[in-house]
């Protein structure tokens, strides 16, 4: 079967959707699928191969598709007509490609699936407000294309609840799988440039306001008062002026010797950061449909301290996989200190977290995705 994955989010960009789409492409290829990825990421139109996977990059500013969807639709139709896949699997409903792929696939008679990866920021607290806003969004003609998909997958229950406002049929819930490399991770603090006496606290993700980095820095300021050897490593890409703002906070609070902006790093090194760290922090303000970085830390055996925890928050609390604090900086700092000061607690939570993360392996969850492929393809053929 020729599978075409379509996404406005793909490497070399970093993020949860990018990781998911690339992982799906690699897993499907290993399972014998012929895989083509179509993406607007890349800067210029070209065809390349990544680990044997064909990647077609289209020149198109990511968000201009909201204002000129017809031009994007024309380009996508030209690509799909040329490659003629058996099935199309688009990603992220509220992106230009997510809102145009179903329409093009339907015109060409190709079965189309969508994975919804997102919920709006504040959705956890303001569901009713977002429900009203969604009715307004549906007035935009391109948004109505979401109804044309043959099947929709959501990465969590909150994501399924939100996309159901736009899609009246059954929604399948399949959480994002995780690569085996995180389960096999092993590294010392020296491997990432620190002393074994340092206490490493790790953040991974885009440096974006909704990720709660100001909150984390303020809490970490309290941590350093009690644990001067605490080191916060912030891994992920950031842009001015927000990165400048964060650096100014670090300087103003005298944390220059304790906070390290690592930036974007290769995945092979990222695995080592997860494995070598004592605690992982996920200080998001909300709007996280899942939180794949939380799962990556669990697979590496590193316990998490989180404000809400995304879709995994209830499991973290119920099964003792880390600590969920809400939005009190004092409670957040206390939770980090509790784990930094107790190796036995860190190891116990880390073992539980690693066992829990096994439920999200690619081998296990791809079978569920593949079942949806077969059902949609069979129904269209019938």
**Quick one: pLDDT at residue 345?**
97
Given a cut of 70, the residues of the chain with pLDDT beneath it are: 62-68, 124-126, 135-141, 381-382
Going edge to edge, which strands form the sheet with 53-57? 46-50, 53-57, 34-39, 2-7, 87-91, 112-116, 151-154, 171-173
Tokens of 69: 């969807």
Q: Decide: residue 78, CB within 10 A, 0-12 exposed, 13-18 middle, 19+ buried.
A: exposed
**Quick one: pLDDT at residue 68?**
61
**Quick one: pLDDT at residue 381?**
64
Which positions ≥6 away from 53 have C-beta within 8 Å? Answer: 25, 26, 29, 35, 36, 37
What digits encode the pLDDT tens for the residues 216-253? 999 999 999 999 999 999 999 988 899 999 999 999 99
Rounded to whole angstroms, how far apart are CA atoms 38 and 35? 10
For strand 46-50 and strand 53-57, is the pairing parallel, antiparallel, or unpaired?
A: antiparallel
**Quick one: pLDDT at residue 66?**
57
Rounded to whole angstroms, how far apart are CA atoms 326 and 323? 10
The closest of 177, 200, 211 to 275, measured between CA atoms, is 200
**Quick one: pLDDT at residue 129?**
78
**Quick one: pLDDT at residue 13?**
87
What digits encode the pLDDT tens for the residues 257-303? 999 999 999 988 999 999 999 999 999 987 777 888 999 999 999 99
Rounded to whole angstroms, how far apart are CA atoms 166 and 169? 9
Q: Are 8 and 39 in contact (CB under 8 A)?
A: yes
**Quick one: pLDDT at residue 374?**
94
**Quick one: pLDDT at residue 63?**
59
Tokens of 257: 């010797």
- Computed on alpha carbons and rounded to an integer, the radius of gyration of the chain in Å comes to 21
Domains of the chain in sequence order: 2-177+361-381 (3.40.50.2000), 180-360 (3.40.50.2000)
Rounded to whole angstroms, how far apart are CA atoms 336 and 304? 9
Secondary structure tally for the chain: helices H, strands E: 14, 14
């Amino acid at each position: 079967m020729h599978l075409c994955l379509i996404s406005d989010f793909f490497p070399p960009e970093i993020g949860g959707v990018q990781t998911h789409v690339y992982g799906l492409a690699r897993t499907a290829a290993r399972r014998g699928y012929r895989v083509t990825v179509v993406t607007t990421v890349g800067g210029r139109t070209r065809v390349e191969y990544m680990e044997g996977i064909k990647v077609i990059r289209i020149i198109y500013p990511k968000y201009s598709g909201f204002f000129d969807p017809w031009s994007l639709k024309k380009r996508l139709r030209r690509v799909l007509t040329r490659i003629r896949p058996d099935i199309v699997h688009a990603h992220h409903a509220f992106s230009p490609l997510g809102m145009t792929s179903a329409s093009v696939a339907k015109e060409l008679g190709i079965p189309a699936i969508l994975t919804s990866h997102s919920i709006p920021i504040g959705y956890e607290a303001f569901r009713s407000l977002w429900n009203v806003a969604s009715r307004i969004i549906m007035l935009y003609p391109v948004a109505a294309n979401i109804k044309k998909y043959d099947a929709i997958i959501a990465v969590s229950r909150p994501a399924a609840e939100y996309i159901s406002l736009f899609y009246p049929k059954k929604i399948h819930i399949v959480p994002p799988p995780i690569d085996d490399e995180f389960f096999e991770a092993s590294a010392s603090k020296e491997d990432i440039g620190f002393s074994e006496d340092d206490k490493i606290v790790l953040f991974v993700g885009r440096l974006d306001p909704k990720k709660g980095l100001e909150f984390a820095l303020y809490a970490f300021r309290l941590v350093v008062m009690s644990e001067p050897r605490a080191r916060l490593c912030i891994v992920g890409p950031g842009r001015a002026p927000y990165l400048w703002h964060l650096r100014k906070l670090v300087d103003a609070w005298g944390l220059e010797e304790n906070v390290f902006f690592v930036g974007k790093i290769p995945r092979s090194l990222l695995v080592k950061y997860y494995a070598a760290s004592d605690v992982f922090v996920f200080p998001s303000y909300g709007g996280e449909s899942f939180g794949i970085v939380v799962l990556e830390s669990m697979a590496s055996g590193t316990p998490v301290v989180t404000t809400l925890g995304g879709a995994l928050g209830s499991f973290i609390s119920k099964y003792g996989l880390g600590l969920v604090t809400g939005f009190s900086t004092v409670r957040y700092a206390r939770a980090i200190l509790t784990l930094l000061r107790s190796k036995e607690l860190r190891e116990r939570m880390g073992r539980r977290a690693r066992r829990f993360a096994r439920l999200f392996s690619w081998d296990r969850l791809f079978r569920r995705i593949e079942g949806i492929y077969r059902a949609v393809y069979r129904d269209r053929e019938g």
